[in-house]
Amino acid sequence: MPTGPDPATPPSRREHALLDHAPLFPGSDLAAALGFPPAGDPRWTAVADGGAESVEIKILLAPGADTAALLAGPRPARVRHRRLYLLDTDDLALARTGVHLRLRDRGRDRWDITVRLRGAGSAGEVTPVPGARVELDILPGTLFHSTQIVERVPAELAVACRDGRVAPHELLTAAQAALLAVGTGGIDGPLRAHGPLRVERASVPRPRCHLAHARHERVRFAGGRVLEEFSARCAPGEAGVVAGAAALLLAAHRLAPAARQRTKTAEWTDELLSRRRTAG
């Protein structure tokens, strides 16, 4: 999915041009300006027919103090706090190859663990794995497929794993262990918890955006950097329409896209590797 704007134009200028001219364009044109395929493009048909169970449209935003309030509208949104931990080798060998073993603290002694294999391209390139869910993440200019299994974990066991007293493999179901084995290949070595990554998540009201499953996340890295993301989950056949609606919403509230569009996990991995190099 190549990007729509002229790559020779600096990102900051593209953002302001998009916002300044937003009232003149329909949602499909705004989506194309962000880097999504235009409405009616055959790539949306390929997404619809590619075999994924769901799609998530994701747009990283330029951080702003009032982003959450703008998206929530007159009624303050309920903010859910999460802490995420990557279970990986010291040098993040799993994450660097698209294998993510993630422990999540959802608060009130609720924990879960996710095994996810992520790669570039459509869901049609994925080998089916029993018990796994296949999803597409569509960012401006980029498409990823994810195969994942999420399971709840008792709080005591999760905390023990986070603190290094229990090996991560002891938390996995048989299906998760099988999926992890598919992705790890020759990667070996002890795994430990990296993090936490602190996430503040709030749903965007449907009357506000005309989308059923939209949310805003503010992510805080250990070094203090803040990342913000707007996302909307939908059926594969609705992806093109949802991308247009998301672009309209952001333009209406003058919320600029970030200069570089990547997944949160990719940004987090780079942050952790940077800290490791600095410490070493």
Helices 239-252 and 27-34 pack at an angle, to 10 degrees, of 90
More confident residue, 196 or 183: 196
From residue 167, alpha-carbon distances to 50, 158, 277 in Å are 36, 10, 25
pLDDT in tens, 140-151: 999 999 999 999
The partner residues of 199 in beta bridges, in order of sequence, read 82, 219
pLDDT in tens, 38-85: 878 999 999 999 889 999 999 999 988 789 888 988 887 789 999 999
Tell me the Ramachandran region of residue 237: left when phi exceeds 0, alpha when psi lies from -120 to 50, beta otherwise: alpha
Among 214, 42, 58, 201, which residue's Cα sits nearest to residue 135? 58
User: Once rounded to an integer, what is the mean pLDDT over residues 246-252?
Assistant: 90
- pLDDT, residue 77, reads 77
CATH number of this structure's domain 1-280: 2.40.320.10
Burial call 34-52: b when 16+ CB within 10 Å, e when fewer: bbbbbbeeebbebbbebeb
Q: What is the distance between the alpha carbons of residues 100 and 184, in angstroms, rounded to a whole number?
A: 10
Answer whether residue 5 shows pLDDT above 80: no
pLDDT computed for residue 86 by the predictor: 97
Query: pTM value?
Result: 0.86
pLDDT at residue 203 above 60? yes
Q: Binning pLDDT at 50, 70 and 90, where does residue 120 land? A: confident
pLDDT range class, residue 15, cuts 50, 70, 90: very low
Q: How confident is the model at residue 2 (pLDDT cuts 50, 70, 90)?
A: very low
| 3-class state of residue 224 by DSSP | coil
223-247, pLDDT tens digit by residue?
889 999 999 999 999 999 999 999 9
